[in-house]
């Protein structure tokens, strides 16, 4: 994944803003994900940044792709379903690294 554009973008961000951070700490990538997700919500708000509209937009995300997500994984929310991540790709260790296999699974 070292050559993946999303990973490169994340590493460049971290190098600029947190050069001494331990990149093995997954809290950094999680925070990066959620910050980008918030940007998507705010962009969807257009010019209406009321609390009601922010909640409405956060509850209507469709096929939002974040740079660090695995291919085929997107964020989807709904008025009665606020959980942003509802898909997964099974992975197994091949002796050197974790390798995805099969199709992306979702809760549908």
20-33: pLDDT as tens digits: 999 999 999 999 99
**Nearest residue to 10 via CA among 69, 80, 51:** 69
| Residue 16, number of CB atoms within 10 A of its CB | 8
The whole-number pLDDT of residue 71 equals: 85
Give the HSE-up count for residue 70: Cα atoms under 13 Å, Cβ half-sphere. 15
Structure tokens at 105: 């699974």
Give the residue among 51, 108, 101, 61 at the shortest CA–CA distance from 84.
61
Average pLDDT over residues 6-10: 94
DSSP secondary structure string for all residues of 2-64: TT-HHHHHHHHHHHHH-TT--TT-HHHHHHHHHHHHHHHHHHHTTT---HHHHHHHHTT--SB
Across residues 61-90, what is the average pLDDT? 89
pLDDT in tens, 12-70: 999 999 999 999 999 999 999 999 999 999 999 999 999 999 999 999 999 999 999 88
pLDDT of the residue at 85: 81
Residue 108, pLDDT above cutoff 80: no
7 vs 18: CA distance, rounded Å: 15
């Amino acid at each position: 994944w070292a050559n993946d554009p999303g990973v490169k973008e994340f590493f460049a961000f971290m190098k600029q803003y947190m050069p001494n951070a331990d990149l093995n700490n997954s809290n950094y990538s999680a925070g990066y994900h959620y910050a980008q997700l918030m940007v998507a919500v705010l962009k969807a708000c257009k010019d209406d940044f009321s609390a009601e509209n922010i909640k409405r937009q956060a509850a209507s995300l469709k096929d939002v792709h974040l740079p660090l997500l695995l291919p085929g994984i997107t964020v989807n929310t709904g008025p009665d379903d606020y959980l942003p991540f509802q898909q997964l790709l099974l992975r197994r260790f091949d002796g050197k690294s974790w390798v995805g296999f099969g199709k992306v699974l979702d809760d549908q």
